[in-house]
């Protein structure tokens, strides 16, 4: 597919982002990072929809994560209850402040579906520690590929972090979506770094 060079004007309410797809086809050498003080990791088997959405919002609203907010309750509950899906939370002082979601798929693939920390946990090595766990969990099953995608609406640190973690970029795409703030999925004051037009 070819696109015309230059600038393409978008209708009001439409967001455009460049999506980068990354993969690792073998487990990298582990970069040992101890658990940061006061930080624990908890597995949630078939978590409640309300709990999951609250953590998803905490971690992702400022980057306009919205796909799970569009899902009907029953659809999301069924997804989270699958044996092929694992949901983990990062806790500090008993509060859930980070999200890790993995999904194993056919043909030996595992997707890093969601990976994020609240602003309170950024820095201090929590992200590296959590990624070590994600990689270990993914390759604990017989997979040949662990993959993830990120986009230009996400944290500016995300792409570089994934590359440093051992993922290699292999594809790029342009995604056009309706701004979830216009749809009422996310409050208009969220993601102030992305103008609401």
Q: Which domains does the chain have, with CATH numbers?
A: 14-28+36-178 (3.40.630.30)
Q: What is the pLDDT of residue 106?
A: 85
φ/ψ (deg, to 5) at 115:
-150, 115
- As a dihedral over the C-alpha atoms of residue 77, residue 82, residue 86, residue 89, rounded to 10 degrees, the angle is 20
Element (H, E) at 18: strand 14-24
Please report, rounded to a whole number, the percentage of residues in the chain having pLDDT higher than 70: 99
Predicted confidence (pLDDT) per residue in 73-118, tens digit: 999 999 999 999 999 999 999 999 999 999 999 889 999 999 999 9
Sheet holding 109-117, edge to edge: 39-44, 85-92, 95-105, 109-117, 145-151, 14-24, 168-178
Element (H, E) at 73: helix 73-80
Q: What is the pLDDT of residue 35?
A: 84
Out of 26-35, 119-128, 188-197, pick the least confident. Answer: 26-35
Q: What is the pLDDT of residue 32?
A: 80
Task: Using pLDDT thresholds of 50, 70 and 90, give the confidence band for residue 165.
Answer: very high
Q: What is the pLDDT of residue 1?
A: 61
φ/ψ (deg, to 5) at 148:
-155, 160
> 172 or 1: which carries more pLDDT confidence?
172
Distance CA(105)–CA(114), nearest Å, equals 15
Q: Look at residue 20 and give its three-state secondary structure.
A: strand
Provide the β-strand partners of residue 88: 43, 100
CA distance to 60, 67, 195, per residue, from 182 (Å): 17, 14, 12
Question: Of 100, 113, 112, 129, which is closest to residue 39 (Cα–Cα)?
Answer: 129
φ/ψ (deg, to 5) at 28:
-75, 165
Number of Cβ atoms within 10 Å of the Cβ of 6: 5
Distance CA(167)–CA(148), nearest Å, equals 8
Number of Cβ atoms within 10 Å of the Cβ of 17: 17
Model pTM? 0.94
Q: What is the pLDDT of residue 164?
A: 96
The C-alpha R_g of the chain, in whole angstroms, comes to 17
Q: What is the pLDDT of residue 45?
A: 94
Distance CA(119)–CA(70), nearest Å, equals 24
Q: What is the pLDDT of residue 4?
A: 79
């Amino acid at each position: 597919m070819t696109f015309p060079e230059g600038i393409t004007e978008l209708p009001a309410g439409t967001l455009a982002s460049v999506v980068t797809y990354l993969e690792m086809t073998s487990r990298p050498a582990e970069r040992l990072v101890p658990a940061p003080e006061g930080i624990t990791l908890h597995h949630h088997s078939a978590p409640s929809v309300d709990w999951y959405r609250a953590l998803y919002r905490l971690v992702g609203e400022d980057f306009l994560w919205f796909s799970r907010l569009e899902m009907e309750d029953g659809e999301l509950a069924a997804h989270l209850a699958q044996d092929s899906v694992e949901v983990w939370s990062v806790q500090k002082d008993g509060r859930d402040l980070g999200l890790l979601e993995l999904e194993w798929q056919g043909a030996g693939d595992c997707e890093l579906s969601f990976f994020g920390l609240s602003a309170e946990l950024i820095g201090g090595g929590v992200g590296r520690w959590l990624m070590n766990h994600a990689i270990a969990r993914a390759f604990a099953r017989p997979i040949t590929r662990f993959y993830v995608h990120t986009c230009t609406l996400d944290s500016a640190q995300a792409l570089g972090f994934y590359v440093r973690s051992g993922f290699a970029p292999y594809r790029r795409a342009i995604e056009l979506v309706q701004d979830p703030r216009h749809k009422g999925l996310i409050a208009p004051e969220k993601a102030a770094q992305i103008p609401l037009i």
